[in-house]
Amino acid sequence: MRGRLKAAPVPLAAPPAFDRWLNGPAAAPVAVALSGGGDSLALLHLAKAWADRADRRLTALTVDHGLNPASAGWTRFAAERAGRLGVPHRTLVWQGAKPATGLPAAARAARHALLADAARAEGAAVILMGHTADDLMEAAAMRGAGASAPSPRVWSPSPAWPEGRGVFLLRPLLTYRRAELRELLALLGETWIEDPANDDPRFARTLARRRLAARGATAPTVVEAVAPWPGLGDVRAGLAGEFAIPRHRLGAPDTETRRALGALATCAAGTARAPAAAQLERITARLAADEDFAASLAGARIEARGGAVLICREAGERVRQALQPAPLPPGESVFDGRFEITSSATDRQISFLAGHAARLPLDQRRRLATVPAAARGALPAIISPGGDITCPLLTESGLTESGLTESGLADTNPACIRRLTFARLCATLGGAEDEASFWRVAKLTPGP
């Protein structure tokens, strides 16, 4: 476990994916998910070689799931290996009770959320992941056995929400086999961790790995990124984070349209779970039939009238259950999965605007009239200690290009809001083609 690096390491050539996708601001670090296993350790070495040449900083992040008595030692090993390469390291711990069933999926979700939170805290927009061609093969085998196991892409948005806002994942090793990476580590004089969970027959991935080893398999084709949706340029995002789009862009009841409609609904609603396939099929069929209707989908409301479609947060039961004001935390927080709020106040509350609109200042009530009626009630409302109501998105100054606006509260306690819906939609539907474009998308939000 404590092998020594050779005094004269072999020259390392970083995979082409590093230069293809990583072209963001020079000051922004790039995060590396480091478990201490062979794949992630090889990734760290290759990333360090690239970073030294590209003059970029790295930060290594290790998640301790607490599922094995040896996990603390594994984390120390990962931290030591990062230190040997001069890469700053952070340990992230999965706290709380662990589920009795569905443990791999829960651990994966917790890992992505912890990594995304830590990356954003470090100022990184990209996390490098050590998935290999073997992971692609195992995912395909699991699907063949009836399990739900999507194949990882080279470039994709973080699946965690809202923790993963502003964060992409880059998997530069998907064309490499695990054996190749371990050969590289051996040349470097490295050792690595072998997690016994990788050979636990209770897990579907272990069984898939054994089947592949028994019969042999060919690595499937690598999918670099989601194909950009052609209709993305026709989407208009409004003040409430709602989307307006010409009906013809959603008029074909095919797989691509269902994918786009699901993303539009999920992003407008601020939810994390994808819509049910049957619901998507029904609604895309109604859109294709030029029917005028209103329907709910994954927490979103869809209104189709003539040649236009409005998709906004469903201001129904979910809003009614959350009408009670809650304390607005100082610093950065996310409201309803749709708005990032930054506040220096310690005595404000936040609620949905439903039931409070009549108490808005006159200028904000006038601007509220420009928001589609279906989207108004789900706007955020900030409540002062004296009971005054303001909606930062409705102030006269409006949104800046970064999506931020002053709240109109006391100058010493301003609150700013950034809409998350459009940047998330762009990331989901292939509108961020590399690190640089994602930085631009994350900072620009089209106005109404």
Six-digit token string for 49: 């070689």
pLDDT at 162: 97
Contact 60, 90 (CB under 8 A): yes
Mean pLDDT of 256-274: 95
Q: Rounded to whole angstroms, how far apart are CA atoms 356 and 142?
A: 50
Mean pLDDT of 416-438: 93
pLDDT at 407: 37
pLDDT at 265: 98
Of 272-286, 326-340, 394-408, minimum mean pLDDT range? 394-408
pLDDT at 296: 95
Mean pLDDT of 230-254: 95
* % residues pLDDT > 90 (the chain): 69
Mean pLDDT of 295-305: 96
Six-digit token string for 106: 């829960």
Q: Rounded to whole angstroms, how far apart are CA atoms 252 and 254?
A: 6
Of 214-223, 335-344, 403-412, minimum mean pLDDT range? 403-412
**pLDDT, tens digit, 9 for 90 and up, residues 98-126:** 888 888 889 999 999 999 999 999 999 99
SS3 419: strand
**pLDDT, tens digit, 9 for 90 and up, residues 316-361:** 655 555 568 899 999 999 999 999 999 988 899 999 999 899 999 9
User: Within the chain, what is the greatest distance between any pair of CA atoms?
Assistant: 72
Contacts of 196 (CB under 8 A, 6+ apart): 68
pLDDT at 82: 98
Does residue 410 or residue 102 have the better pLDDT? 102
**pLDDT, tens digit, 9 for 90 and up, residues 126-135:** 999 999 998 8
pLDDT at 202 over 70: no
Q: Rounded to whole angstroms, how far apart are CA atoms 353 and 365?
A: 11
* DSSP line for 87-129: --EEEEE--SPPPSS-HHHHHHHHHHHHHHHHHHHHT-SEEE-
pLDDT at 412 over 50: no
pLDDT at 140: 77
Six-digit token string for 263: 């993303």
pLDDT at 144 over 60: yes
Run of H or E residues at 282: helix 277-288
Q: How confident is the model at residue 8 (pLDDT cuts 50, 70, 90)?
A: very low
pLDDT at 207 over 70: no
Highest mean pLDDT: which range of 298-302, 412-416, 437-441: 298-302
**pLDDT, tens digit, 9 for 90 and up, residues 225-241:** 989 999 999 999 999 99
Mean pLDDT of 201-216: 58
pLDDT at 236: 96
Contact 63, 195 (CB under 8 A): no
Does residue 42 or residue 226 have the better pLDDT? 42
CA distances 48 to 56, 79, 393, Å, are 9, 15, 43
Does residue 194 or residue 33 have the better pLDDT? 33
pLDDT at 411 over 50: no
pLDDT at 2: 36
pLDDT at 382 over 50: yes
Question: Could you tell me the pTM of the whole model?
Answer: 0.89
pLDDT at 216: 63
Across the chain, mean pLDDT equals: 86
**Nearest partner of 150 among 164, 169, 167, 165, judged by Cα:** 169
Q: Rounded to whole angstroms, how far apart are CA atoms 334 and 343?
A: 11
Of 33-37, 174-178, 196-200, minimum mean pLDDT range? 196-200
Does residue 296 or residue 445 have the better pLDDT? 296
Q: How confident is the model at residue 68 (pLDDT cuts 50, 70, 90)?
A: confident
**Nearest partner of 337 among 239, 441, 266, 236, judged by Cα:** 266
pLDDT at 447 over 90: no
pLDDT at 33: 98
Six-digit token string for 247: 């009906």
